[in-house]
Chains A and B, each alone.
Chain A
Amino acid sequence: MPANTLMINGKDVEVLQGESLLDACTKIGINIPTACHDSRLEAYGGCRTCLVDLDGAPRPVPACKTFTSPGMKVETSGVVLDTVRTTVDEMLACSSRAAIETWTDANRFIGYDPAQCIMCDRCVRYCDEIMQCNALEHVGQGSEAFIQPTQGESFLDTSCELCGGCVGTCPTEALYSKQSLEVFDKQSGEAPTTTRTVCNYCGVGCIIDIETQGNTVIDIDAQTGVGPNDGHLCSKGRFAWQFINHPDRLTSPLIRNYDNGELEETSWENALAVAAQKLSAVKQQYGADGIAFLASSRCTNEDVYALQKLARSVIGTNSVHSCAAT
């Protein structure tokens, strides 16, 4: 695309044709506040937080929805703009919305707090444009407005896929994760830690941020612009993490008691010694190919590399395979 030259805050700036003023400003390090903007959604211009002055325009214009053309002159700050932005902020933080009695929903993942809602419609647009599920709607006007599941039905009974993308795109905490709220310990005062890693479900390889407090997972989220997923997650990726701290997890090595047939707890030392002794005995009696190794494609590369090396170089067999064979 051919480049345009325009002037932002008195400086000449080269931009691509069709780029928004918001993108142009971001590119040269000018930070313009936004609220209804999500780069993955179509430009909306609904909240007016990103207003800038455009030479020749009768009033400030939204930077997210104004597209660059040659010769434009733009100012991103000034007395009038500051006043307008303050007014816009006050309008968005419409305090009377806190009094609205809205819905509660039986689903265990997505909750809504109208007091936090600024009616930017990011959630509704995300659900329509990206998910194409149309499971959320904007109801009413002005200080009476709120967001609800389409037709006021439960998320569990509509086209909602419980992906939580609405929670992910929400710029406030109006839409929130119920699971997170349940386990987050506010009293402790301990700030959450973020660890960037890869989702453990399907093969798309979504990059996720695991939020933890102490040794407890309290949330999983993703960042726009990061990884093959660009901040999107599915229901499993975002919400199916209770298994990590689940009481069913194995916490000790087990060994079979052949007298009663039960698996019983034992020490690592003993478990490793018994396993090694049993494998050696089979190898001695039947040869290395009497032993086979089965790996999982859920494990890391390093785990499965180590396993095939164990099979080949320690035991001496090439009988190592996995569920990845399908």
Chain B
Amino acid sequence: MTNSIAEIENSECMLVVGSNTTDAHPVLALRMKKALRNGAKLLVVDPRKTWLAERADVHLQIKPGTDIPLMNAIAHVIISEDLHDKQYVETLSEGFEEMSEAAAEWPVERAAEICEVSANDIRRAARIYAGYKHAGIYYTLGITEHVCGVDNVRSLSNLAIITGHIGHEATGVNPLRGQNNVQGCNDMGNNPVYFPGYQEVADAAVTEKFSQAWGSKLSQTPGLRLDQMLDGMHDDSVKALFVMGEDPVLSEPNAKHVHVGFKKIDVLISQDIFLNETARLYADVVFPATCFAEKEGTFTNSERRVQRVRKAVDAPGQARPDIQIIFDLAKQLGHDWGEAQPSKVWDEFARLSPQFSGINYERIEDEGIQWPCPDVSHPGTKILHEGAPIRGKGKLYPLDHIKPWEEADDEYPLTLSTGRTLYHYNSATQTLRNEGHREKEPECFFEISPDDARDLNIADKEAITVQSRRGSIVSWAKVSEKVRKGVIWMPMHYAEASANTLTGDGRDLKVGTPEYKLCAVRLHKS
């Protein structure tokens, strides 16, 4: 997030895109609820009628995968009606001309047609967003999990920059992280092209710095992204996989294809707190690890705040802290890193990563600190890009519509979208083991619009089979006004009805993020 969670309640306007915030980030949503109570305007872009959408001043219930035409049209309204922040654009941005020309290709009527929403609603949304000083954008995976995920994000940053809605209270471009340590996992360099602290592998000086610090000659060959690893398992370039706390045969798209890859590799080592499906089927060695309540360390939340994780109970049986297991394995492979002490590991990271150098365990004993925090006298950074964008000038991108990998057609006429519910969490290894949550939502379902249900002669709670070109799932229909005609929606939590049986091979064209948010399906009574 460019901005911080507590600020949200001071918003005058919130533009929430592809985020069912009250279900997926319920506590952050309380800040939005408070802002609403205080009279803030709310604009929601979502194919589903979420809790927030029902209360929105404008709900743009777009056809999935049409975010760029919509955002281009909104930008075009703002520019053509002279509602943009001309001083900000002139002094603190670059690429305005190219961007505005690309946006002009999407007059409101054209966008309205492809997005399947009202042209007037697009105009209203544009005027409201541009009309308030404290207007922030909030998004989640409804934006990123598309073939055009990166460009979707850029379409939002374009809006923030042309209106100058960045660098001050309750504004900015704010991705809400789906997991406790998404932010931290990236910060720590679990990335094929970045060392810790976003320092590039391609930079020889950086590689040399880490080589010296770690006492071994490091490779400058860029590594593989997750999607490329899965490909590599098929073409024999990846022969061993070490998986810490993941269950890829359930969590990666086009599951059938993923299984084929796992059957081909020579070695799989898994480290987890439960015996997950990937490990059960394919692991050669499984290490029992510890959950968050059994170890010391830190998590970094969505607002870049590094916070202390503390041990409350002992791990069961012989389970060991993840960090201990990695140190043990390093030693077994001839690299003795000494004692596996979390605070020392943090200090090593902070010493090597300038944006984090000011954070240590002592400073965050009572309250977390938000990075960037370059030195120990620095208080941390609540709002990014304050005064001016960090890179000097905010970059505006000319964008155009990119079609999804697979669109609905005559054979598979419905679009499937997936997501999280309030009561479960991802592959639900934790929440389905809680009796109360399991009882509340015990099994998979498909939300289907009343129109589609009528056309297909399907009643509420009726058993149905949903098929894509990759596989099929038998479940039941939840006839609901929440979804629009032509779209069905399912939760991603249930192993026995895994969404990835259906999802396809679409990936973001720039960074490879899977297109979980839509694929073409058909359904019939079971």
Contact = CB atoms under 8 A, between A and B. Distances in A.
Interface of A: 107-109, 129-132, 156, 161-163, 179, 193, 195-207, 210, 212, 215-217, 227-230, 232-237, 239-246, 248-256, 263, 268, 271-276, 278-282, 285-286, 288-326
Nearest to A222: B27
Contacts of A202: 24-25, 176-180, 425
A195 B311 contact: yes
Interface in B131-180: 141, 144-145, 176-180
The CB with the most chain A CB atoms within 10 A, among B294, B329, B368, B513, is that of: B329
Given A197-B312, A294-B242, A289 B221 contact: yes
9 residue pairs, one from A and one from B, having the closest CB atoms: A251-B317, A205-B301, A203-B177, A300-B297, A296-B245, A318-B223, A108-B436, A319-B223, A250-B288
Interface residues of B, number: 144
B88 interface: no
5 contacts: A227-B367, A250-B272, A282-B239, A291-B241, A297-B179
A198 B307 contact: yes
Interface string B189-215: 111110110000100000000100011
Nearest to B213: A313
Contacts of B6: 228, 230
Contact of A254 (B286, B309, B368, B437): B286
Contact of A248 (B193, B222, B274): B274
B181 A301 contact: yes
B284 A274 contact: yes
Interface stretch (B41-49, B90-98, B319-327): B319-327
B18 interface: no
Contacts, number: 459
B435 interface: yes
Contacts of A207: 307
Contacts of B298: 300-302
A178 B311 CA distance: 24
Contact of A290 (B182, B240, B246): B240
B376 interface: no
Given A205-B299, A294-B241, A212 B312 contact: yes
A294 B251 CA distance: 12
Interface string B10-35: 00000000000000111110100110
Given A280-B333, A324-B182, A236 B323 contact: no
A318 B201 contact: yes
A239 to B, nearest CB: 6
Contacts of B377: none
A204 B31 CA distance: 12
Interface in B254-292: 266-267, 269, 272-275, 279-280, 283-289, 291-292
Interface in B88-115: none
Contacts of B196: 305, 308
A228 B433 contact: no
Contact of B248 (A215, A276, A294): A294
B184 A297 contact: yes
Nearest to B192: A318
Contacts of B193: 318
Given A216-B313, A242-B434, 10 more contacts: A200-B291, A203-B179, A203-B301, A228-B27, A240-B431, A252-B317, A271-B285, A312-B219, A318-B201, A318-B219
A228 B5 contact: yes
Given A254-B285, A300-B295, A323-B251, A212 B223 contact: no
A317 B181 contact: no
A251 B316 contact: yes
Given A275-B285, A306-B327, A299 B221 contact: no
A40 to B, nearest CB: 9
Contact of A263 (B181, B286, B310, B437): B286
A272 B245 contact: no
B406 interface: no
Contacts of A298: 179-181, 245, 292
Interface stretch (B341-349, B448-456, B459-467, B482-490): B341-349
A301 B346 contact: yes
A325 to B, nearest CB: 6
Contact of B242 (A240, A245, A291, A302): A291
A109 B182 CA distance: 29
A225 to B, nearest CB: 11
B83 interface: no
A87 B306 CA distance: 48
Given A203-B179, A275-B332, A301-B349, A310 B238 contact: no
B500 interface: no
Contacts of A230: 6
A179 B434 CA distance: 10
Contacts of B429: 243
B430 interface: yes
B185 A304 contact: yes
Nearest to B437: A240
B308 interface: yes
B391 interface: no
A228 B184 contact: no
B14 to A, nearest CB: 15
Contacts of B313: 210, 212, 215-217, 244-245
Interface stretch (B59-67, B122-130, B225-233): B225-233
A298 B299 CA distance: 9
Contacts of B398: none
B302 interface: yes
Nearest to A295: B190
Interface centre among A296, A307, A321 (most CB of B within 10 A): A296
